[in-house]
Structure 1
Amino acid sequence: MTDRFSSPPPPRDGVGASTVQLPEGRWDRVLDFLAEQFPGIGAEAWRSRLARGLVLDARGLPLAPDSPYRAGGHLHYYRELEQETPVPFEAQLLHRDEHLLVADKPHFLPVVPAGRHLQETLLLRLRRRLDLPELAPLHRLDRGTAGLVLFSVDERTRGRYQSLFAQRAVVKVYEALAPHLPQREFPLRYRSRLEPGDPFFLMREVGGEPNSETGIEIAERRGALDLYRLHPVTGRKHQLRVHLAALGAPILNDDFYPELRPADEADFSRPLQLLARSLEFRDPLDGRFRRFESRRQLLESSD
């Protein structure tokens, strides 16, 4: 294993291969290295993956459970999860052409694999369903947020569309159900400085120069709740959730803000009432105006 710059092999069942470097060490077998490097997975799980051809050398050839360890290169492996909670909701496909795909994501379905989510993610479902192993998201939504996600189909044009998000040339509109704020005048612009919080997956507001901005207006009154229309100028993690909570109107069924509450991943009865409603932009390839709108709806009442 001397190829220090090997490329990962193609996805398998929608799952892309991960790559790990092989440092100098005392391990006799690849199995010994993997078991020590990733103790949370365990030696028996690695032995099973090796036996099934899910661990490859730098050339993309399968390694065996007794393959000797050779420092100075890479190996590739495919992730697996023994137990993954099925998400009983499906995404709708709103648009597909040779460059772009637009999906309407349900609540509770993560966009990309992470942590305890692998096969039950929007990306892997679409790769398998449409036989598009190189499909890649151009932006992200939280697991709890429903609505529009834009994907790149063609790797050759991916960078052109990614630049739209980097340049803030994509106009995004969200909707959220949250308590009425009679003491506030709308529309308003809310700005604050957001930084990682504690635990690590939360965000918090701190003093200093603002790095996040959201335009907020009321689209509709719904009893004790309002349907808010949100226009994010920046795209910080959890920005909309933090901003509404800071104003005193936490989004309905938000288990993170203003306080972290224990949640059961198998409980699908309380979806976060946040929806990525629309996306619009000028297509960088041909200059056409593009606009996509979610077909999903938030709750109709405040019950």
Structure 2
Amino acid sequence: MQLIETHIAKKLEKPIRFQEYAVGIFNTIPTKSSIKKAIKKKLIFIDGIVATTSKFISGGEKIELFESEKSSTFERLKLNLEVLFEDDYLAIIYKPAGILVSGNKFVTIANALTQNLQKSKQQDAVKPQPIHRLDYPTSGLLVIGKTSSAIIKLSALFKNKEISKTYFAITIGLMNSEGIINSPIEGKESITKYTVLQTVKSERFGYLNLVKLSPKTGRKHQLRKHLLAIGNPILGDKEYFLEGKVLNEKGLYLHASILEFIHPFTKEKISISKELPKKFTKIFSVT
């Protein structure tokens, strides 16, 4: 068997059953039913011992997910990915719009990583896995962990807001030249800083803006929800939109363009950028 993912259990106020705790801790098996299947197949270990449904988690346990040697789904997917940075610990790849990062679907970024990345030579090397998520319709940079320790440290960098992410979007309607959106999402503090770089008139939408976005928190669909909240939804968004202002053909105009952080092992500053997709530059001239 090959190790896929590692999770260190958070400290809990009171112990809970593992099959309840495990929902959502692994990217490759996010649902309760998939957790049960993995337990039945003896693919999950807790502190080196095969997991059971009756096991209770209290905090600090090392939980490991393995892949059966009989599983070949991962290897069968042929999807070429652009790799912008790679070393023995981590990689940064470009996720095209219209592809899931991970989940139960066959065509996902997670399922294509092994064929696109070099195997780590570190002792704690694992199957490469995404550290964070980008929405299905969003394009841009994605951080990948290649070792167990790298996955843990990179996840901590994201949690502690030590990874700077910059997005670009095209929004609908006139906007202030810059601002900060401080609107809670699901009761949690959510902050987005924005700067309007260019504005053009549009016969269909009135005005379109090229906007630089710097999220200070990482809530689900934060940028899309925040821009709709100020009346300037992202062009092509079919979930967060104004009535009569939906573009159905070109996808979502949201792109994760820049990632900056200190490498958790080499301590070098990593700064990676990816140019805007062509659908952006057809509307705005970017130098």
- Shorter-chain TM-score category? 0.5 to 0.7
Deviation for aligned residue 1:136: 1.4
> 1:1-303 residue pairs with structure 2 within 5 A?
9-10=1-2, 57-58=41-42, 90-114=80-104, 117=105, 119-130=106-117, 134-181=127-174, 184-195=175-186, 211-224=189-202, 225-258=208-241, 269-297=249-277, 298-302=279-283
Q: Distance in 2 between matches of 1:123 and 1:275?
A: 19
Deviation for aligned residue 1:295: 3.3
TM-score by length of 1: 0.62
Which of 1 and 2 has greater Rg? 1
Measured at CA, do residues 15 and 169 of structure 1 come closer, stay the same or move farther in structure 2, by a change above 3 Å? Answer: closer
Point out where structure 2 has 5 or more consecutive residues left out of the alignment.
Answer: 7-17, 20-31, 45-52, 56-65, 72-76, 120-125, 203-207
User: Is the strand fraction higher in 1 or 2?
Assistant: 2
Conserved 8 A contact 2:182-2:191: yes
Conserved 8 A contact 1:112-1:122: yes
Conserved 8 A contact 1:55-1:77: no
Count of residues in correspondence between the two structures: 221
Q: Deviations over 1:135-188 (max 9, x none)?
A: 11111100110000000112133222221111101111000011231xx42210
Q: Deviations over 1:208-255 (max 9, x none)?
A: 7x6100001112224331110000000000000011111111111101
- The equivalent residue for 1:27 is none
Q: Distance in 2 between matches of 1:284 and 1:104?
A: 21
Q: Distance in 2 between matches of 1:233 and 1:295?
A: 22
Deviation for aligned residue 1:91: 3.1
Measured at CA, do residues 97 and 253 of structure 1 come closer, stay the same or move farther in structure 2, by a change above 3 Å? Answer: same
Per the alignment, in what secondary structure is the counterpart of residue 163 of structure 1?
helix
Conserved 8 A contact 1:242-1:258: no
Q: Distance in 1 between matches of 2:261 and 2:83?
A: 19
**One-letter identity of the residue aligned with 1:218:** V
Measured at CA, do residues 222 and 104 of structure 1 come closer, stay the same or move farther in structure 2, by a change above 3 Å? Answer: farther
Q: Distance in 1 between matches of 2:198 and 2:81?
A: 26
Conserved 8 A contact 1:223-1:301: no
Conserved 8 A contact 1:176-1:228: yes
Measured at CA, do residues 77 and 130 of structure 1 come closer, stay the same or move farther in structure 2, by a change above 3 Å? Answer: closer
Percent of matched pairs sharing the same residue: 26
Measured at CA, do residues 252 and 169 of structure 1 come closer, stay the same or move farther in structure 2, by a change above 3 Å? Answer: same
Q: Distance in 2 between matches of 1:171 and 1:77?
A: 32
Measured at CA, do residues 131 and 97 of structure 1 come closer, stay the same or move farther in structure 2, by a change above 3 Å? Answer: closer
TM-score by length of 2: 0.65
Conserved 8 A contact 2:260-2:271: yes
Deviation for aligned residue 1:57: 4.2
Q: Which runs of 4+ in 1 moved over 6 A?
A: none
